[in-house]
Amino acid sequence: MSDDPQSDPRQAFQELCRWSVETARWVSIGDVLGWDERTMMPAADGEHRAEQLTLLSGLIHRRWTDRRLGELLDHLETTALADDPHSDAGTAIRRLRRSRDRAVKKPPELVEELARTSVLGQQVWQQARRDNDFASFQPLLEKTVRLKREEAEAIGYDDQPYDALLDEYEPDARTAEITAVLADLRDRLVPLVSAIAESDRRPASEILRRRYPVDAQERFGRMVAAAIGFDFDRGRLDVTAHPFCSGMGPNDCRITTRYNERQPGSALFGIMHESGHGMYDQGLPTEFWGLPTGESISLGIHESQSRLWENAVGRSHAFWRHFFPQAQAAFPEALAGVAIDDFHFAINEVRPSLIRVEADEVTYNLHVMVRFELELALLNGDLPVAELPGAWNAKYREYLGIEPPDDADGVLQDVHWSSGAIGYFPTYSLGNLYAAHWMQAAKTDLGDLDEQFARGEFAPLLSWLRENVHRHGQRYSATELLAKVSGERLSSEPLITQLRHKFGPLYGF
């Protein structure tokens, strides 16, 4: 790096931007490696891929801890460029400072130990899940919890250790606030689930267990993704075991799905979900690619986009008023003679179940709640790892009224904890809450969205999201953005209202 930045703040800021874009390019190289690993790579080369990714993450970590970056930020923070926290420069300085501080605060030995434990943890977890053997996973999870506690201490927090971890996935969120809003959500969901359970109405869910040929599912899924606004000129759709979306470059965003001939919803709503993520990435301003003003705010906001398109759009009656005839043409064997209302009820069946990723729109958040409460207790030391399976089962009984027959379909079902991702789960529910806020605000601005959906018009909603969410990048925190768009604070009210509005008529309450 070149001249003394003290001389000219604009020059220092340009250097910071170059640093940021170049770092993002390195990160995006890792994105290509990661996407390829999960969609294309022969499994036999996995060890080599891990070595490549290790090299790359070492380089990226060295960039974040480079002394020069600290100098630039120290200097820029004293200049007028940092005055407006929402300006291009203010946003960049503020968000890069956050990430820099997190990187510098973690001792290198801890970073390394966490990385190693994460790789090992995932391997041991996979085996433990196959063997339905929590005990074999317990020592590694104990180590992970201990290391994450150390990480939280190293990073620091005002209120409680969980804050420091949550902050990585949901910047500026606080555990106490989230606990309050999610507890409120839980308390209002549980009676909703009970009301549904007590209803004597049941959908003809057998409709969704008929044969839906995979090639027709793929064609239909692509058609829907393009219709709602995913840009295939700047993206792709591929097959993988555990679907994800990866924004790999300013004009390269890739979504993935998996197909099951007897489970058409898995691919279709999966594609709409990942398209939601993808349209957010595609809606970020490309002129700011690699800078905080060109990046997504948080996992919660990202999830709000995917859940909005998957549920509020894809599972709405209006959506199917447009698409059901096409679905009947695409899947004549399964759908000929089926009434749209029966189909709509089937794709909205609410049934307490064991597996989070297969849960319906209503019970989903209770699955998240179980995990959030447990990981908080683990981190705070209120729950020893050895007692985790029992606590898991008790919470499933309490919130969902069912109990896992074994740990494989219980406490061992998710990869997150094995990889050290503690603080991640609540962002799934935050996504649902934000999505409901966006839908409420969009309806205020755009009028009758249902009429638009029924005509196959999704551009107004997408434009609204582009204008109100996507284009800002990281200019505002999630909380600030919500206030700006709706004048509200995060609440379970819009989601509960929307769920009651939708499921009341279906289940008759």
The 276-305 site mask, x for binding a copy of itself (CB under 8 A), equals: -------------x----------------
**Strand runs labelled E in 198-338:** 235-239, 245-249, 252-257
Using rule CB under 8 A, residue 48 touches a copy of itself: yes
Q: Which of residues 145-184 bind a copy of itself (CB under 8 A)?
A: none
Residue 275 amino acid letter: S
Residues in the chain, total: 509
Q: In the bound complex, what is the minimum distance in angstroms from residue 47's beta carbon to a copy of itself?
A: 8
Using rule CB under 8 A, residue 60 touches a copy of itself: no
The reply to whether 274 belongs to the active site is yes
Please select the residue that binds a copy of itself; options are 40, 226, 386, 394, rule is CB under 8 A: 40
* Residue with smaller CB distance to a copy of itself, 21 or 340: 21
* Residue with smaller CB distance to a copy of itself, 26 or 509: 26
d(CA 19, CA 30): 17
CB atoms within 10 A of CB 459: 13
Angle between helices 426-446 and 478-486 (to 10 degrees): 20
Using rule CB under 8 A, residue 251 touches a copy of itself: yes
Q: In the bound complex, what is the minimum distance in angstroms from residue 307's beta carbon to a copy of itself?
A: 25
Which residues 6+ apart lie within 8 Å of 153 measured at CB?
161, 164
Q: List the one residue out of 79, 101, 99, 100 whose CA is nearest residue 90.
A: 79
The 178-217 site mask, x for binding a copy of itself (CB under 8 A), equals: ----------------------------------------
Q: In the bound complex, what is the minimum distance in angstroms from residue 55's beta carbon to a copy of itself?
A: 6
Using rule CB under 8 A, residue 28 touches a copy of itself: yes
* Residue with smaller CB distance to a copy of itself, 43 or 336: 43
Q: In the bound complex, what is the minimum distance in angstroms from residue 64's beta carbon to a copy of itself?
A: 16
Using rule CB under 8 A, residue 130 touches a copy of itself: no
Please select the residue that binds a copy of itself; options are 3, 4, 45, 342, rule is CB under 8 A: 45
| Catalytic residue selected from 15, 151, 170, 274 | 274
Using rule CB under 8 A, residue 55 touches a copy of itself: yes
Q: Give the interface segment with a copy of itself, choosing from 98-106, 175-183, 203-211, 243-251 (CB under 8 A).
A: 243-251
d(CA 244, CA 317): 26
Q: Give the interface segment with a copy of itself, choosing from 85-93, 152-160, 187-195, 229-237 (CB under 8 A).
A: 229-237
Q: List the one residue out of 475, 487, 491, 485 whose CA is nearest residue 171.
A: 475
Q: In the bound complex, what is the minimum distance in angstroms from residue 268's beta carbon to a copy of itself?
A: 23
The 338-367 site mask, x for binding a copy of itself (CB under 8 A), equals: ------------------------------
For residues 334 and 207, the answer to whether their CB atoms sit within 8 Å is: yes
* Residue with smaller CB distance to a copy of itself, 162 or 289: 289
Q: Give the interface segment with a copy of itself, choosing from 32-40, 204-212, 308-316, 437-445 (CB under 8 A).
A: 32-40
d(CA 435, CA 301): 8
Please select the residue that binds a copy of itself; options are 92, 185, 248, 385, rule is CB under 8 A: 248
Q: List the one residue out of 159, 212, 183 whose CA is nearest residue 369.
A: 183
Residue 487 amino acid letter: G
d(CA 508, CA 287): 50
CB atoms within 10 A of CB 271: 29
Which residues 6+ apart lie within 8 Å of 47 measured at CB?
none
d(CA 290, CA 247): 12
Q: In the bound complex, what is the minimum distance in angstroms from residue 49's beta carbon to a copy of itself?
A: 7
* Residue with smaller CB distance to a copy of itself, 235 or 404: 235
Q: List the one residue out of 290, 238, 248 whose CA is nearest residue 29.
A: 248
Please select the residue that binds a copy of itself; options are 5, 161, 203, 250, rule is CB under 8 A: 250
For residues 94 and 83, the answer to whether their CB atoms sit within 8 Å is: no
Which residues 6+ apart lie within 8 Å of 316 measured at CB?
450, 453, 502
For residues 470 and 284, the answer to whether their CB atoms sit within 8 Å is: yes
Using rule CB under 8 A, residue 36 touches a copy of itself: yes
CA 364 from centroid of its chain's CA atoms: 13
Find the distance separating the first CA and the last CA of the chain, reported in whole Å: 66
Residues touching a copy of itself: how many (CB under 8 A)?
31
Using rule CB under 8 A, residue 233 touches a copy of itself: yes
Please select the residue that binds a copy of itself; options are 171, 221, 235, 283, rule is CB under 8 A: 235
Two structure tokens written together for 78: 């004293």
What secondary structure letter does DSSP report for 295? S
What secondary structure letter does DSSP report for 432? H
Using rule CB under 8 A, residue 44 touches a copy of itself: yes
Task: Report CA-CA distances (Å) from 482 to 182, 430, 435, 441, 468.
Answer: 17, 12, 10, 10, 9
Which residues 6+ apart lie within 8 Å of 70 measured at CB?
100, 104
Using rule CB under 8 A, residue 61 touches a copy of itself: no
CA 93 from centroid of its chain's CA atoms: 25
Q: Give the interface segment with a copy of itself, choosing from 38-46, 176-184, 434-442, 450-458 (CB under 8 A).
A: 38-46
Using rule CB under 8 A, residue 32 touches a copy of itself: yes
Q: In the bound complex, what is the minimum distance in angstroms from residue 29's beta carbon to a copy of itself?
A: 5
Query: So which residues are the catalytic ones?
Result: 274
Residues in touch with a copy of itself (CB under 8 A):
22, 25-26, 28-29, 32-33, 36, 40-45, 48-49, 51-52, 55-56, 232-236, 248-252, 289
